[in-house]
């Protein structure tokens, strides 16, 4: 069944998408956000969602949005997905302290050379057993 964008937005805000919904690619605004981006914002993605790669005009993926709103599934494994500045889903998760406990890709960097480890360090989210201090630039903590 096909739904209007307006109706889909209302359904997502009420967390009531149809069980077999599959129109995740629908563009809902001038920034190029998809209906899946909005569903991530409202934690309304189904457990079997697999279109983390859908992007807006700045290449911000649904996975970035889900990391921002803390609704990535525990088995998520596409940490390298990046936007147009090479800011990965990992960077976004590190920004909010939402990396999995077994995370080990601290060296991923954006196009400005910002490592995931630096993001986590600047926000006090490094795990107690962190051992990649070679990636940390302590003079940057005032910049974030």
In a domain, 70, yes or no: yes
User: Residue 139: which pLDDT band, with cuts at 50, 70 and 90?
Assistant: low
Question: Which residues constitute the domain of residue 29?
Answer: 1-78
Count structural domains, the chain: 1
**CATH number of the domain enclosing 46:** 1.25.40
Query: Is the per-residue pLDDT at 70 higher than 60?
Result: yes
CA distances from 74 to 27, 81, 107, 113 (A): 27, 16, 21, 28
Residues 130 and 27: their CA atoms lie apart, in Å, by 40
Of all residues in the chain, the percent with pLDDT exceeding 90 is: 90
The whole model's pTM is what?
0.89
In a domain, 68, yes or no: yes
Region 47-71 average pLDDT: 96
Query: Do residues 35 and 23 touch, judged by C-beta distance below 8 A?
Result: yes
Q: Summarize pLDDT for 75-95 with one digit per residue, the tens.
A: 999 999 999 999 999 999 999
């Amino acid at each position: 069944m096909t739904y209007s964008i307006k109706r889909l937005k209302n359904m997502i805000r009420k967390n009531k998408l149809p069980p077999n919904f599959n129109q995740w690619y629908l563009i809902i605004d001038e920034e190029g956000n998809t209906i899946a981006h909005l569903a991530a914002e409202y934690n309304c993605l189904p457990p079997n969602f697999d279109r983390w790669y859908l992007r807006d005009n700045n290449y911000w993926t649904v996975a970035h949005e889900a990391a921002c709103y803390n609704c990535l599934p525990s088995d998520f494994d596409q940490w390298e997905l990046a936007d147009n500045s090479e800011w990965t889903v990992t960077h976004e998760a590190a920004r909010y302290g939402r990396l999995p406990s077994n995370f080990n890709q601290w060296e991923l960097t954006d196009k400005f050379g910002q490592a995931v480890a630096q993001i986590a360090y600047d926000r006090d989210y490094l795990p107690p057993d962190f051992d990649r201090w070679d990636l940390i630039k302590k003079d940057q903590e005032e910049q974030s």
